[in-house]
Structure 1
């Protein structure tokens, strides 16, 4: 039976690295807004002998996520793994100067979409599947108001789901990646020395090893 892995936020960074790492053993369902980056990922997966289904969608679009999850059910019947790396990274700003539109996008992308996806993906994972979320403990850090607060809320949702499913499944895991030279980090820390940062592919392999995947 084909093992399936849904990766939300798969176009670059850790999401793409996880897709490449899982491709030898899983059919990858790659979700992201950037079609070109998804196609590049697809080429990499195919070159390594794997297979992927590309879903160029916005996770904040409820109808699109319903369609995606119904399609997964109709084609495979279930999911083995969900890796949720998608995140909205609003520009850094003092708490007293957070732009209302940036805050709304942060809530929609990091909190509301996560809560909605949990309700749609949970039945696909059943009792045996695994969901993985990725903590970034920036809550309370200087200038990280909108990102830090909404990322913390996302992880709070994941922790609640984890506590609720200890006996019933699915297994919910919260990983904390080391700092990586991603596009998101580059926007937060322009001009920093990136040489000490962890390679996303190395982090993907480490996190999957922690999961026993």
Structure 2
């Protein structure tokens, strides 16, 4: 009599989520809730439910909900700053071209985005109440401004003092912040590429340079470049 052989047991692959993935999922859940209903919507239970984890993991990975909120805000601000730095990888060594690339990246999607500015605005009230969040806000602001100031310094203009460089970076940053805010909230109010054009001209006027001379790499400024009549 033939011996019956049991069919092989199908085993499901075991997946152990990493700490980095868990942290990112908690941050993403926090950002989604803040964007939808402000910081008050980001309760421990709501964050855990959105991320699909137990509430205890928030304390395990971040120590407290406040620390998670700060980490989520930091990721938001750093993400926008990183888009400007990433844009520098696609251009050459010309200082004006590099500054123009940084400015343009700050005034186009995905940085200019209604959800992003809504999420940023959702944190503002809490920034004034939470010293730790305020410190993260200042750190993010200075990180962006310092990158902008370094690019301005690279222009190599004669007899520009450190104080002047700092004040120029503050002024240019304020221009870009305002355009980013309006372009994100009222995207229908601007023609394609208009925010970038305004930003380049305004920052160039402050610095006494023409940032539009080396911008053929910015497609929204030349929407017909490379196209032929049919």
TM-score bracket relative to the smaller structure = under 0.3
TM-score for both structures, normalised by structure 1 = 0.27
TM-score for both structures, normalised by structure 2 = 0.26
Q: Which has the higher helix share?
A: 2
Q: Which has the higher strand share?
A: 1
Larger Rg: 2
